[in-house]
Structure 1
Amino acid sequence: MDTSDWFRQRFDPHQCPVLNHTHILDPQALRWWLGLQHNTDKQTLEEVMSQLFQVIPPPSLDLQPLPSRCRSCAVVGNSGNLRHSGHGKMIDSHTSVIRMNKAVTSGFEEDVGNRTTHHFLYPESAVDIVDGASLVLLPFKVKDLQWLTSALSTGHITMTYMRVKERIKADLEKVLVVNPEFFKYCHEHWTEGHGRYPSTGLVALIYALHTCDQLSLFGYGADQNGNWDHYWEENPYPGAFRKTGVHNADYETQIIHRLAQEHKITLRT
């Protein structure tokens, strides 16, 4: 498949999406990441990572896509445009099904399916992970890594900047942490500095671009009435999702549509 200059300028095949126990972060990436949210902890990142990888094993997954394997991925956003879509069986037919944050499947199977292989979250959006799926932490601060260690072991961390789940159900063998350098790459190469940092949904999409052979995208953007909401709830303030002051939803939507035009993803609406 031909690759355009637009895609080549953005996609870096050498990026490592997942943090491992031996990784030493680039100083510039570390400085950017530490500035995302307020950090007050006196522990060094190395100390925190060392403690984390005593609770979870270093990642051993082969993340590289291979045509012979034909790993198909469904990245499922939480948009209200999934309501009455009937996409459930199509979503579940993919090799990997990526969901994020507080995604609900029970009661919505016809539209969103019921399989999950990877669940992206951060402490403030945490839910228990279904059996067999990978918890994928998107960390915004050192405290998030400490919370993951605690939530999978002692349960002693109950607050970040708000109340968080003390413990979380997840398969320790399948826990992954998004590399902060990859997060910065998504911000600089893909959203190009629009917004303070990319949304969880955009990071999950770029992660899938790096790990999947065939990629379908469901449940992103506004519904047919222009409302931005979650498919499992009624939202009285539909514009709020676009006006967080953190993400640039309109620019991220442009990226998604361009990727579809470039035939790098299939956008299901």
Structure 2
Amino acid sequence: MVAFMRRRTAAALLSITGLLVLALSNPAGEWWTALQQPYQSEDLIKCAYDKCIPEGDDWFMAHLNQTIHPFLTPQSNLSAKDFLWWKKLQRDPNDLAAFKRVVDKVFQLFPEGKGFMDSGSQRCRSCSVVGNSGNLLASHNGALIDFSDCVFRMNGAPTKGYEEHVGKKTTFHIMYPESAVDLTDNRTHLMLVPFKTRDLQWLISAFTTGSIKFTYLPVKAKINANKDLVRILNPQFIKYVYEVWLRNSGGYPSTGFLGLMLAIHICDEVNVFGFGADQNGNWRHYWEELKDKTLRTGLHSGTEEYRLIQKLAAKGKINFFPGH
């Protein structure tokens, strides 16, 4: 892991050095355009070992359950027990049979979520998970974030105007109906985190009739995204993250922490940015002014999630950039 990270860091420094040369030699703006070009598979740095994330830690391996598929598929067999737990998150009135009927309709419209599970000794997928903390500002980590093969972003997170600190590239944009935004890049995956059956119904509606405009809040009737790149997080995976990793802390996991755990399951190198409070101890989004400074993390256990992120970093499972 250390040897691999040194090689990858050296490659990153060479890439950044090249960009500095571009910045000096090219007309203004062209160097940033060059940075945004997607990396091709033949250019990726391969793993030095079978896995970039070392697996020789008892605590980590006791928590990691690779038998749970993180993506919902037509074959996902959600048990009655798991469904009853999930339906309580936002007081879903539907039963398991109704949920399964909606799932069947979902996969008549969207592809099965089987991608990104191609683990193997010849693959080393690097991922940047970008939270929404105000500590991203002044971090100057945009180029480092975009250097990853895949970039995860959450909810309403913008990149325009913040590229220097948060980057521009997005592979997965993770959202739920009440936080949904349009995706202007046709190569970005819309990752839906469903907290109730109506969220799946909204997903269908948002790509077809636009008839659902309200859940427990007003929601976007239609959404601009690539239908063929839609993925849905498995409710069983949400329950697993909550019970095994968070030890039942808070009401349920935050979208950001679910994104981090998804990355741990489908990536080989995980870089984490934008989690935790800012330097003044405020939990706020980097693009918004915090009006209520007593506002914390709501139903989510931000303290426990941050503690776990620090522990994963200390054990070498992720690279954590705490920001400023």
TM tier, shorter chain? over 0.9
- For 2:263 and 2:125, the matched residues in 1 are separated by 10
Q: Counterpart in 1 of 2:27? A: none
Q: Counterpart in 2 of 1:248? A: 301
Q: Which moved more, 1:23-32 or 1:63-72?
A: 63-72
- For 1:225 and 1:51, the matched residues in 2 are separated by 47
The structure 1 residue matched to 2:82, chosen from 15, 24, 29, is: 29
Q: Counterpart in 1 of 2:166? A: 112
Given that 1:151 and 1:168 are in contact with CA atoms closer than 8 Å, whether structure 2 keeps it comes out as yes
TM-score under structure 1 length normalisation:
0.96
Matches within 5 A, 1:122-133: 122-129=176-183, 130-133=185-188
Q: Counterpart in 2 of 1:199? A: 254
Structure 2 unaligned segments of length 5 or more: list them: 1-53
Does the residue aligned with 2:283 lie in a helix, a strand or coil? coil
Does the residue aligned with 2:296 lie in a helix, a strand or coil? helix
The structure 1 residue matched to 2:111, chosen from 21, 46, 57, is: 57
Change (3 A) 1:2 1:101: closer
In the TM superposition, residue 213 of structure 1 has moved relative to its aligned partner by 0.3
The structure 2 residue matched to 1:89, chosen from 138, 143, 159, is: 143
Does the residue aligned with 2:271 lie in a helix, a strand or coil? strand
- For 1:13 and 1:39, the matched residues in 2 are separated by 28
Does the residue aligned with 2:129 lie in a helix, a strand or coil? strand
- For 2:227 and 2:284, the matched residues in 1 are separated by 32
Change (3 A) 1:2 1:114: closer
In the TM superposition, residue 237 of structure 1 has moved relative to its aligned partner by 2.0
In the TM superposition, residue 174 of structure 1 has moved relative to its aligned partner by 0.8
Instruction: Flag the structure with higher helix content.
Output: 2
Q: Counterpart in 1 of 2:225? A: 170
Given that 1:64 and 1:210 are in contact with CA atoms closer than 8 Å, whether structure 2 keeps it comes out as no
Output the aligned Cα RMSD: 1.4
Given that 1:67 and 1:213 are in contact with CA atoms closer than 8 Å, whether structure 2 keeps it comes out as no
- For 1:233 and 1:48, the matched residues in 2 are separated by 36
In the TM superposition, residue 63 of structure 1 has moved relative to its aligned partner by 1.8
In the TM superposition, residue 19 of structure 1 has moved relative to its aligned partner by 0.4
The answer to whether the aligner puts 1:13 opposite 2:13 as a matched pair is no
TM-score under structure 2 length normalisation:
0.80
Larger radius of gyration: 2
Structure 1 unaligned segments of length 5 or more: list them: none
Change (3 A) 1:85 1:67: farther
Q: What is the aligned residue count?
A: 267
- For 1:24 and 1:41, the matched residues in 2 are separated by 17
